[in-house]
Amino acid sequence: MIINQTLGNLSGNPATKNIDYLDMEWFETTKRIQRKKTRQGTDVAIKFLREGQRLREGDILFEDSEKIIAVNVLETDAIVMSPASLLEMGTVCYEIGNKHIPLFIQNDQVLLPFEMPMFRWLEASGFKPGKQSVKLLNLLKSNVEPHGHGSLGASIFNKILKIAAPKDE
């Protein structure tokens, strides 16, 4: 069975049919092309055409009169932090993002996939990370625009500087 799009989500559609879950790791939800089997053994080929499209918990991939195939994101070990202030939230998100590690915000907590070096770095930096098994569901979209270092016009900051610079008359 080839899946090109989602048909909705279980959260807005109370299921009265048999639900066959397609278990996925958090990092598989962003893959454009993949083959997997559902819990009940149905072969599924996912082929999304749009870049940046991702699957979410409960997304309906297939539905007929008897059955629904829906996404189930599996739990995984994660670093979990509950920032004490907005400043701490901004700082920890900046530091994690600067390392290009996927970042999740759920229930007023910052989460990222567990890596011992990152866990130790966060502890050494004064944060209070914890380790939990959770579903990583709310991946922050972080479109990093291509930018160059040293060429005007390559970043929004440089564009602002160029606009604000005094004009030669």
> What is the per-residue DSSP string for 66-123?
SEEEEEEEPEEEEEEE--SSHHHHHHHHHHHHHTT---EEETTEEEEE--HHHHHHHH
CATH of the domain at 110: 3.30.70.790
- Verify that 68 and 91 share a domain, yes or no: no
- Verify that 80 and 126 share a domain, yes or no: yes
- Verify that 127 and 108 share a domain, yes or no: yes
Q: Is residue 160 part of a domain?
A: no
Tell me the per-residue pLDDT of 52-102, one tens digit each, with 9 for 90 and over: 678 999 999 998 888 999 999 999 999 999 988 888 888 888 888 888 888
- Verify that 8 and 45 share a domain, yes or no: yes
Size of the chain, expressed as the number of residues it contains: 169
Q: In 3D, which of 1, 9, 3 has the Cα closest to residue 31?
A: 3
Tell me the per-residue pLDDT of 20-36, one tens digit each, with 9 for 90 and over: 999 999 999 988 889 99
- Verify that 59 and 116 share a domain, yes or no: no
Contact 46, 34 (CB under 8 A): yes
- Name, in order, each residue with C-beta under 8 angstroms of 133's C-beta and a sequence gap of 6 or more: 75, 76, 77, 78
How many separate domains does the chain show? 2
- Verify that 69 and 85 share a domain, yes or no: no
CATH of the domain at 49: 2.60.260.20
Tell me the per-residue pLDDT of 38-55, one tens digit each, with 9 for 90 and over: 999 999 999 875 666 789
- Verify that 39 and 94 share a domain, yes or no: no
pTM of the model: 0.73
- Verify that 31 and 92 share a domain, yes or no: no
Instruction: State the residue range of the domain holding 67.
Output: 2-73
Q: Which of 40, 57, 73 is the last residue of a domain?
A: 73
Q: Is residue 105 part of a domain?
A: yes
pLDDT given for residue 127 in this prediction = 87
- Verify that 20 and 63 share a domain, yes or no: yes
